[in-house]
Amino acid sequence: MDTPPTPDQSADDIISDLGAHFDEHNLYYQTVSSVLEAADLLGVPHQLKLILTQPKNEIMMHCPVKMDDGTWQLFKGYRVQHNNVLGPYKGGIRYHHNVKLDEVKTLALLMTMKCALARLPFGGAKGALKFDPRAVSPAELERVTRRLTAALGSNIGPDYDIPAPDVGTNAQTMAWMADTYINFAESSRKVAASSIVTGKPLQFGGSAGREKATGQGLVYVLDALLPGMNLDLPKLSYSLIGFGNVGSWTARLLQARGAKLRAVMDHTGAIFSSAGINATNLAEHVRKTGGIKDFAEAEAIDEGTFYSTPVDLFIPAALEQMVDLDNAKKIQCKVLVEAANAPTTPRAEKHLLSKGVEVLPAILCNAGGVTVSYFEWKQNRQAETWDEFLVDQRLQKVMQESAERVLQTADRLQCSMRSASYAAAIDHINQVYSVRGVFP
Ligand code: NAD
């Protein structure tokens, strides 16, 4: 983009033009504002800013499901489709008791940005069902998932909108979704229908390397960026929020590189070990017990101690906005690596940057998941099976190129890594709109 910046309206003006008002504590408006600030650095056309500010579609569902004891419950579900100018909508399905529409809108917007930054042929979406998956039986979980898939109906499709796992969902959830969708598909479309979701089990069209992909991608981003900060991964210590798919795989892969895990926090508590926590043993403990609490090889600590533990890297890999200003004041690290989506509030980020902490943004750090999802979708459509070596090799290329794109953009626009990651994404979207036009 060589056009000189021509900021026609501030982020607040655009948001109020759309009938909303800017609320600095609202995650959606925080995220939209950061995206619009990056758009202003590029000087993109007004219509693009308007388009990015709201999702194309917001679907809301209520799914009645019979529980094991014979009673009925109504589950509220969302699918937000933010933008599909680059390709089919793509984004995870979250199961969480506290999920809200604004959170799903935020995550869908971030998916648009993430796919564009990594130059994947996908748009952005996100879905959620408001319930606690840990509070239902496996049979109930299956019925809820199949009912959700039926309710989504033609709002999803292998060429239109392709869900994947997120918080509270996994490969088994995706298998139930795919099986339900295939059962509804016409006979001649059943093979094609199997690419309706990614993150499936290996036996059912999943990709080698998908389960660890988000953690693996993050490690490749660190490989690309840490040397420029004079940091040597094998000599570094780190702490981690969240020990689910993303957190536990990040930890196991960083362990193989020699980095030392000092402290972990999840929904069951926080633990510390000065000698370093063995990620493989902790993953086994979490598999058996459901959380990190009572892990015998580390001492229990409180939340304040967890945040204050001095480390080189601080890696949030759980939910949004966990690193707020109060926590940011306690954190003592050199680099904050966003494995989770939107884990840092704008005030916390400002504080961390002022302390000299580098903040590596989520749309770069956790893009490994959607990248290998893209590889899975591509393998399904071409009836191919790639081995883990090939998947990792191609993932590394995407992550390295994305990291370089962010660095070059930060240098060109003299901005933070977050603004640069959004700008690099918006630049690509802008170029596609400039040739496609906006219908009609
Ligand atoms: P998960 O459900 O496997 O794990 C979530 C983790 O968060 C668990 O360890 C849980 O204990 C922890 N957690 C929940 N509430 C907490 C609390 N109040 N305090 C501390 N910890 C808490 O989910 P995941 O798939 O690992 O996703 C984690 C993050 O990464 C999310 O932001 C998700 O959107 C993002 N992400 C996931 C993928 C993927 O492929 N799964 C890809 C990209 C981004």
Separation of CA 316 and ligand 1 centre (Å): 9
pLDDT, tens digit (0-9, with 9 covering 90-100), for 64-118: 999 999 999 999 999 999 999 999 999 999 999 999 999 999 999 999 999 999 9
CATH fold of 213-360: Rossmann fold (3.40.50)
What is the CA(246)–ligand 1 centre distance, in A? 6
Cα separation of 233 and 260, whole Å?
9
Q: Quote the CA–CA distance of 334 and 200 in Å, as a whole number.
A: 36
Gap between the Cα atoms of 62 and 40, Å rounded: 39
Domain spans of the chain? 1-54+416-440, 56-189+198-204, 213-360
Is residue 419 a contact partner of residue 405, using CB atoms and an 8 Å limit?
no
pLDDT tens-digit profile of 256-284?
A: 999 999 999 999 999 999 999 999 999 99
DSSP 297-339: TSEEE-HHHHHHS--SEEEE-SSTT-B-HHHHHH---SEEE--
CA of 79 relative to ligand 1 center, distance in Å: 19
* 169-214 pLDDT per residue, tens: 999 999 999 999 999 998 888 888 999 999 999 999 999 999 999 9
Same fold, 56-189+198-204 and 213-360: yes
Count CB atoms within 10 A of the CB of residue 276.
14
| Residue 341 Cβ contacting ligand 1 at under 6 Å | yes
- pTM of the full predicted structure? 0.96
pLDDT 10s digits, 124-139: 999 999 999 999 999 9
CATH superfamily of 56-189+198-204: Leucine Dehydrogenase, chain A, domain 1 (3.40.50.10860)
Q: For ligand 1, say whether the CB of 103 is within 6 Å of any of its atoms.
A: no
Q: Is the CB of 318 under 6 A from ligand 1?
A: yes
Looking at residue 269, its amino acid is G
Out of 105, 126, 200, 212, which one is annotated catalytic? 126
